[in-house]
Structure 1
């Protein structure tokens, strides 16, 4: 509860009038002081009354690409039975306050307001809660309360169409490119039967030929083939325009474009943020159960001050060997880490490096690295489609 400047003045006047009236035995001043104090007390009681309101929100849509339109519809319903709600309300949309008309809202009635959600920047825009302010008729006391839960609107990076997607060096052992999203078992070799093997795995034709039970050995060939490593270190993107690292925004657009292109080509893809422990492997559905999808993770991605994040990430990639095509996306400050990325050539036959926002072309690095210099996501898509070898 907050008392306004008018309320503070009236309260001070009430104290002074009561003091002077009692001190010098002026009943008129005492009466005026009592009236002023009663007015402030009445204002506090009126402002403390809590109206019964129900707030519902509907985002249309709740996930949108950067620059595309999105709107939020807020419905406020007075579920009370006794009196109209004479209130002031505003909704929070990111850093902006949106007024919501709820003056003289009768019991059982509702009011609705629709407004645009800003999507000019990638990120997660929190909308809500509704802030309702209750004032007394004299404007002495004001009390603000939140109503309803906040709803996020996910602003994804722009997606630039890519016509080519590297399928990597890995092939299924039966000669096909592995594109099975839910896992596949492919024949590898034959071995002698041991107790406990399933009979359905017995290869009867070979068993009849050699005179012993022979069992098929299978391998899972549907591990992720594309690994996208996004460098989200603040040191890799030192340049700021209006407080925003445009090179990082371009890298996010490139990551979203590669992930989407892999999804359309039915190729499993793994998105990693250098300075983040969360990493979800995604298949053609583009989203893992119980976890954020890759585009949502890119919308929520932010810069980190962890300067050793790339070294830690490359060490993990070397140990785990999560795929056979590595795509490293960084800014002008990340070129010093290309040696660590180039050292992964033994574990990843194909390594692609994209550098965004650099003033000069990136010098040739380790042998076998494919280096793409781009100013933004659109230029990256054009350079990517012009690559002749992966």
Structure 2
């Protein structure tokens, strides 16, 4: 903690000015009563100032939990206070700053040597990373004539990630063959579609020894698995595509829910933004391996905001990601290029957050689902797609 300035309040400053003025007038007019009254007012202001010259007799510690929280979920700040005063009670006001906005913390009076803990709500309506701090403790002086401030200057970052709503799952049995062939693999899982570096927990029987010898590191083969198709989610993050800010929030939460459902089911997933601001691949089985990659997906979605359309366009989805493609966009989006992306997949779905329409239709080889809210789009996905 660091001490701030001791200063007169508005009441104290007014009292001091009035006292000096009356004292001067009393002396000038030789009016002892007026002089005494002015001196008394001046003395009150000075006494109030002197009463807070000593630093706030309190030890303070603040924490926030959890540090990563889903939007609209509970995040709590905890302020622990311990009075070091041995004779007098301590009356404090506390104000914390959250995303540069002041939040008043209700602190009860502290008796001599008393300890207390105060919980207060951290707002989680907006996605992103927000600083919590610094926290200011203010002690009022005698009769409210002055106050002193102590600043708890440590700052804690809170990451608000999108909500994840329950999704039934990803359609199974639609894996394409290797090297982008159009035939589907209906049985077995021996069709080689890629190689990646070994991570602890991988099945040693899937090691590709020839490639491992050439690369100087253990490499694991990725085989086609009809029960675990690739899921690619393309999120339209262009500002003109969404009719209102809440529409983009629903789109982000829909993307988060679909990706989370795929990862929980053990599918390899990929997140792409139409602006090129995000392109993230997550291999199969990350939840069982500890979930670091899954946390990265939520972190990327937490920071994603609508960007200018002049940003770099994303690369085209490779053939191995064309099993299930879900395109998430707003009501004002240009559907033509999005339908092309979805139409290349074995199962292509365009999910449109449209505040005015709720329906489903087929455009070419892609299915188009429209609904005003994320909950209704997920319900349509569960009914029509993940049967």
TM-score by length of structure 2 reads 0.69
What is the DSSP-based 3-state SS (H/G/I as helix, E as strand, rest coil) of the residue aligned with 2:21? helix
Name the residue aligned to 1:133. 138
| 1:246-325 aligned within 5 A | 246-274=246-274, 277=277, 279-283=279-283, 284-285=285-286, 293-302=296-305, 304=306, 306-308=308-310, 312=312, 315-318=313-316, 323-324=321-322, 325=324
Match of 2:351 in 1: 354
CA distance in 1, matches of 2:68, 2:29: 70
Equivalence for 2:63: 57
Alignment correspondent of 2:170: 164
> Structure 1 31/233 Cα, relative in aligned 2: closer, same or farther at 3 Å?
farther
How many Å apart are 1:277 and its aligned residue? 3.4
Out of 40, 45, 57, which is 2:45 matched to?
40
Unaligned runs of 5+ in 1: 191-195, 202-216, 240-244
Q: Given that residues 189 and 218 in structure 1 are in contact (C-alpha distance below 8 angstroms), is that contact kept between their aligned partners in structure 2?
A: no
Is contact 1:7–1:139 with CA below 8 Å preserved after alignment?
yes
Deviations 1:322-353 (A, max 9, x none): 8334322111112x1x2233444697665432
Shift of 1:252: 2.6
3-state SS of 2:266 partner: coil
Tell me the residue number matched to 1:226.
231
More displaced 10-residue stretch of structure 1: 7-16 or 177-186: 177-186
Q: CA deviation at 1:76?
A: 1.8
Aligned residues: 352
How far does residue 140 in structure 1 lie from its aligned partner after superposition? 1.2
Picking from 363, 368, 371, the partner of 2:365 is 368
Cα deviations by residue, 1:88-114 (Å, 9 ceiling, x for unpaired): 23354867533121x23434x320123
Calculate the TM-score normalised by the size of structure 1: 0.68
**Unaligned ranges ≥5, structure 2:** 179-188
RMSD: 4.7
Q: 2:49 & 2:155 partners in 1: Cα distance?
A: 27
Q: Are 1:377 and 2:374 matched, yes or no?
A: yes
Structure 2: how far apart are the matches of 1:81 and 1:42?
A: 19
Give the counterpart of 1:174 among 161, 179, 190.
190
Find 1:90's aligned residue among 94, 99, 106: 94
1:58-207 superposed matches below 5 A = 59=65, 61=66, 63=68, 65=70, 71-78=76-83, 80=84, 86-90=90-94, 92=96, 97-101=104-108, 103-107=109-113, 109-115=114-120, 121=125, 123=127, 129-147=134-152, 149-150=155-156, 152=158, 154=160, 156-165=162-171, 169-170=175-176, 174-175=190-191
Q: CA deviation at 1:355?
A: 0.3
Native 8 Å contact 1:55 1:77 kept in 2: no
SS for the counterpart of 1:333 is: coil
Instruction: Give how far 1:139 is off.
Output: 0.8
